[in-house]
Amino acid sequence: MRPRRTRTWFDATQSVLWSGLVFVVGCYQPTVVPPLASIPRPVAPPVVAAPAMPPQLPELTLPKIPLNPTPTGNPWAPKTKPRDWKYVVLHHTAAEEGSVESIHEIHLKNKDKSGNPWLGIGYHFVIGNGKGMGDGEIEPTFRWREQLQGAHAGVGEYNQQGIGIVLIGNFEKTAPTTAQLTAVKRLVGVMKQSYSIDNDHVVGHGDVKATECPGRKFPLNDVRISVAVQDEPSFPSLARGITDSPLTLNRLNRGPLQ
């Protein structure tokens, strides 16, 4: 009987090596690479054959477009049918600051001759002076958007057919800002052109009612001449026409404008 062989150091080492090999083999995960044919390749867009060009292009007739078309834009054009405007009536608020909202709040408390409360702000446009609204900012009111008559002149005809424009400020004390003057000239010019308003129908409130509005420091004649000149290049005759108009004479007879 052979003596039982004792487990030697060599045996133990071999056993560890073999188990390690099994472990390594067991963890080995070969990367599966699919055959090339199974990888979808990007499909090139189909080549569309260009249509064959006609041998000769037909002669084109282009519409004639003027090189310098006259700008006739009205950025304030209402979405509803415009009223039959005949006048522009200019006002000041006689207050140092204000906005469409602040005037609206005040006018909501007013009542007409029949005792009915006003619908709100009586003007069609407000031009800010930087205190409550932007300096030179032009903001239309609901009366303009809905083409309603104004409540600003104190005279029926001018309320019904006059576009009421008010500038924030007290022009008995100080002149309008430069930005306000630029804005009012632009706005009145567009209104005059868009609604065919005569030169001498651009008036100050004081021209149609006994009031100091729009204030003696408001350069009404400058504005009127400026918007008249926007229409016609013949400045001197137009300027004379404005100064001779009954409305202007009415104002001039009441004292200097500035």
Residues near Zn ion (CB under 5 A):
91, 205, 213
Report long-range pairs for 134-140 (Cβ below 8 Å, ≥24 apart).
135/177, 135/179, 135/180, 136/177, 136/178, 136/179, 136/180, 136/182, 136/183, 137/183, 138/76, 138/183, 138/186, 138/187, 139/99, 139/100, 140/76
Spatial CA neighbour of 118 closest among 152, 93, 92: 152
Nearer to Zn ion, 213 or 227 (CB): 213
Residue 170 · residue 95 · CB < 8 Å? yes
Nearer to Zn ion, 197 or 213 (CB): 213
Nearer to Zn ion, 170 or 243 (CB): 170
Nearer to Zn ion, 91 or 104 (CB): 91
Q: Any idea what DSSP says for residue 99? A: -
